[in-house]
Amino acid sequence: MWVDENDKQVFHLLIDGNPNTLELEPYAPVWSLLNVPLMPEFFLNSTTSTVTQTISGMNMTGFDENTVESDVWKFYSYSAFGCGKYMLEFWNRNYETVLKASPYWHGEGIIDGTAQDLDIDTFIMRVIPDKTSDIAEFKAGKLDILRTKYKSQIEFVWEDSRFEMHISQDDKMDVLYFNIRRPFVGGDFNYEYLEAEGKTNYTKGVAIRKAICYAIDREEINQMLFDGGSLISNSPIIPIQYYYYTDFPIKYSHNITKAEEWLIAAGFEIDLPTTTTETTTETTPTSSETTFSTIE
């Protein structure tokens, strides 16, 4: 990030997407962190609605060359500490953190020509390890904000006008990793190349791991564990990184046929499940219950 050499009120942000670059490396969560303020919010605001233009012709509201001479900006030029809206009142590890409105805040609010006061005087943040207690206190009105990724836990919100719900994408993802030293997914198989047509560049270890990736039904997992509320990624790239996710060449959508294809190429014999109606105690295997055995 740097300030434009011709227009001091314009800055440039460079995101290096080339992994071969020595000096700069790609920073995966950069988009999700762009909303992190570079400086206290009120320093970017003004109590004037005057519109001016930069040297390059960009419109600015409430900001001009005289703004840096205001008391707010002078204070910030001395020290950035203590400029926030809230100050730490007290803190108990793994239990509670309390923030109080700062008496030193300058009151610079939204750029509409008026000042602003803090509507909330005190923030109390509690650590509640038990999720059941967390939801119970929220329903009882003892908590003002609750964050969860399980829709079934907040079904009562949908039909209760007292609650307001906001949905956002998370920048975290659960990932399946393989220990390629383990013999059943790697080991010596990492050095044995396939003989199947079109797959001679792959090892048996890669084929087994590909088969597992294709066999996993992520939609079923999403429904059973997260009530269908999570995004599904069929690649190692998180969906919130849309450009990289769509551009990534390899994706493993649920496909039992491809899973069997890679297992057969690795030298495994597929034992297809059969359906029986002779007894009510025996269940019918699903397509994801394919078994395999090694060809001797």
* CA distance between the termini of the chain: 60
* Distance from C-alpha of 214 to C-alpha of 245, rounded to nearest angstrom: 18
Which tokens belong to 182?
């383990």
b/e sequence 155-179, b meaning 16+ C-beta within 10 Å: eebeeeeeeeeeeeeeeeeeeeeee
For residue 41, the model assigns a pLDDT of: 55
For residue 47, the model assigns a pLDDT of: 53
- Encode 82-119 in three state secondary structure: CCCCEEEEEEECCCEEEEEECCCCCCCCCCCCCCCCCC
Residue position matching structure tokens 């970017």: 44
Encode pLDDT of 176-215 as tens digits: 889 999 999 999 999 999 999 999 999 999 999 999 999 9
How buried is residue 230: exposed, middle or buried, by Cβ count under 10 Å (0-12/13-18/19+)? buried
pLDDT digit of tens for each residue in the chain (296 aa)?
A: 677 788 776 777 766 655 565 555 555 555 666 655 555 555 555 556 677 777 777 777 666 667 777 776 777 777 666 667 888 899 998 899 999 988 877 676 555 545 667 888 999 998 888 878 888 888 888 888 888 777 777 777 777 888 888 777 777 788 888 999 999 999 999 999 999 999 999 999 999 999 999 999 999 998 888 888 788 888 888 777 767 777 778 889 999 999 999 999 999 988 765 544 443 333 333 333 333 333 32
Alpha helix locations (H) across 18-164? 71-78, 131-139, 155-158
For residue 63, the model assigns a pLDDT of: 67
Model-level pTM greater than 0.85? no
For residue 158, the model assigns a pLDDT of: 76
Q: What angle do CA 154, 159, 160 make, to 5 degrees?
A: 85
